[in-house]
Chain A
Amino acid sequence: MELGTFGAILRSALDLESRAAAFYRAGARGDLEELFRRLAEGSEKRTKELERARREGVAEMILESISGLEADSYAVVLDPAADEEKRIEQGARFEEAAARFYRDAGAKMPIREIVRLFERLAKENGLRRERLTG
């Protein structure tokens, strides 16, 4: 699906965070309990930041159509029931895709505050990935 509006991109970002939170919550067990719980909390906090950005960033004058961004390009399968190794692998792949999404979408956003937020979220995704794989 093409993400052709400001709202569609923010919706997609919120969906990413909500999927991440659900995956890390459900997968928080065994040796990964603490790490996954923290990652889930991080996603919940990011959701609040994105909601605030959507509320405050929208400006009628620059609600122009956006092109060249496909939601499917960032899809990653997440299965919290998988074994520990698979969960880490999926989490790392997800964080990588999310970072790519925020970088690509940020480049198309006409609102500076949202560009800055997306850049920060992309950086955080890199750090989250390192925590999973490091």
Chain B
Amino acid sequence: MAETLRNYIGGKWTVSDSKRVLDVQNPATGEAIARVPLSTAGEVRSAVAAAKAAFPAWRETPPLVRARYMFRLKALLEEHFEDLARTVTAEHGKIIDEARGEVRRAIENVEVAAGVPSLMMGYNAEDIAVGIDEDCVFQPIGVFACVAPFNFPAMVPFWFLPYAVACGDTYVVKPSEVCPMSQSRLFELLDAADLPPGVVNLVNGDKEAVDALLADPDVAGVSFVGSTPVGRYIHATAAAHGKRAQCQAGAKNALVVMPDAVIDRTVAAILTSAYGTAGQRCLAGSLVVAVGDVYEPLKAELVKAASRIKVGDGLDESTQMGPVVSKKSLDRILSYIEKGLAEGARLLLDGRKVKVEGYPKGYFVGPTLFDRVRPEMTIAREEIFGPVLGIVRVDTFDEAVATIEALPYGNAASLFTSSGKWAREFRYRVPCGNVGINVGIAAPIASFPFAGMKDSFFGDLHGQGRDAIQFFTDRKVVITRWF
């Protein structure tokens, strides 16, 4: 019988009272590998209460001492690296290399957060008036929470948690109910790092738990990563309850290819962007915008290279693309392929035909490529979150930029070119938070904010880096005169 995951509240592993329980599936095999409780609002309250109780002593703990917990956590993460990566692949389906990359990114955030003694330093000025000095100090605020997505089950909570904890706040994580196992493993390591009880807490659950966090007056702020409708809801609800919120939402990322692009390198980058993690990344490119003459040769090379991608179980090292996360996702992706056909796009590569030997119950869909895609089509405007790539043909660079401007999202965009002039124009003009120049996945490293604009982000301060430090602290100004 698959294990039932527990919550971690006040430094103790606790069994949920909830009668609502879901199976966690391995998407390559369709097998249940764990069971996740959908915790009650009362359990969320207990976690927040534990975090609140831990806050006064934790905020008084010197930043250097808090940083040492980060070093301890990093050592534990390195020690259990491979096990964590395999857990990510087992519950999500992404290939093991991508899972390793995800765990590495989680660790990078711990490494950056360990710099908190410097990152949290304030500033001051003497003699702002005669004999009067002014200081600005950064202070922790209280309890923060994270509502995490399924697509990066290990990494995303670590865009936030290490910074919050290093800054002296206390924390509650609500993992995705589809992929909750990685966070359970990570909390075993947080427990082993011996943080004081209540500093970090884990509550498994669904919307009921999220609503309880949003309504709880003791939660000072919420970080979210997921879809645009849910991001908008969480941002509005958090704001209505007087909380800070940073909500990273959906995306439709364009990859613009200029006629002077280096085709073989560009094709390799596009494939990784579109089909890596089976397209289930908020940074996944899902629209190629081919400018001018590059259209025909690019299309031919994309078909050739994409048809060679090996689809299979992510735990097999030779696999280049794993399954999508669930039957529900698979059905949604297949319906988008149907919609593309119905709206007149031409299918160059049909991922619906893929069969993976030995995995009859896996949620596999192969690399799918459309051409004759027009910007007004559903597959060109909506986030598919699967390995489906469409090619739009335009005549000029300006048309390519206009195509991006017309999208409701502003998460990421990339340009492939050999021209510095086009590169400069592109990074200057496109209304997207993460811009790649000859890079298909413009993923900011931990010391930079994970940006986003338009319907891809609700809030002002982003996850990671200095933004995270600001999100998890208040600035207090002290003006001093001595008589």
Contact = CB atoms under 8 A, between A and B. Distances in A.
Interface of A: 1-8, 11, 51, 54-56, 58-61, 63-65
B276 A4 contact: no
Nearest to A64: B268
A5 B268 contact: no
Contacts of B318: 1-5, 8
Given A55-B78, A56-B104, A60-B101, A65 B441 contact: no
B104 A55 contact: yes
Interface in B72-102: 78, 81-82, 95-98, 100-102
7 contacts: A1-B318, A5-B95, A7-B96, A58-B101, A60-B441, A63-B97, A65-B308
A51 B276 CA distance: 23
A27 B95 CA distance: 37
Contacts of A4: 310, 318, 320
Interface string B298-339: 000000010011100000011110000000000000000000
B101 A63 contact: yes
Nearest to A60: B101
B101 A5 contact: no
B441 A58 contact: no
Given A58-B104, A60-B105, A65 B320 contact: yes
B95 A7 contact: yes
B483 to A, nearest CB: 57
Contacts of A3: 318
Contact of B441 (A6, A51, A55, A61): A61
B81 A65 contact: no
Contacts of B440: 61
B118 to A, nearest CB: 23
Given A7-B95, A7-B317, A64-B272, A54 B309 contact: no
A61 B439 contact: yes
A62 B165 CA distance: 31
B309 A65 contact: yes
B443 interface: yes
B404 to A, nearest CB: 20
Q: How large is the interface on B (under 10, 10 to 19, 20 to 34, 35 or more residues)?
A: 20 to 34
Contact of A11 (B81, B308, B317): B317
B309 A60 contact: no
Contacts of B95: 5, 7
B271 interface: yes
B269 interface: yes
B262 to A, nearest CB: 13
The residue among A4, A54, A63 with the most chain B CB atoms within 10 A of its own CB is: A63
Given A2-B318, A59-B104, A60-B102, A7 B271 contact: no
A55 B320 contact: no
B100 A7 contact: yes
A109 to B, nearest CB: 13
A11 B268 CA distance: 22
B315 to A, nearest CB: 10
The 4 closest A-B pairs by CB, nearest first: A7-B97, A60-B101, A64-B268, A11-B317
B81 A55 contact: yes
Contacts of A59: 101, 104
A3 B101 CA distance: 18
Given A7-B317, A59-B104, A64 B98 contact: no
A11 B96 CA distance: 11
A3 B317 CA distance: 9
Contacts of A7: 95-97, 100, 317
Contacts of B308: 65
A7 B103 CA distance: 14
Contacts of B101: 58-60, 63
Given A7-B100, A60-B101, A65-B305, 8 more contacts: A4-B318, A5-B320, A6-B97, A8-B318, A11-B317, A55-B78, A60-B276, A65-B308
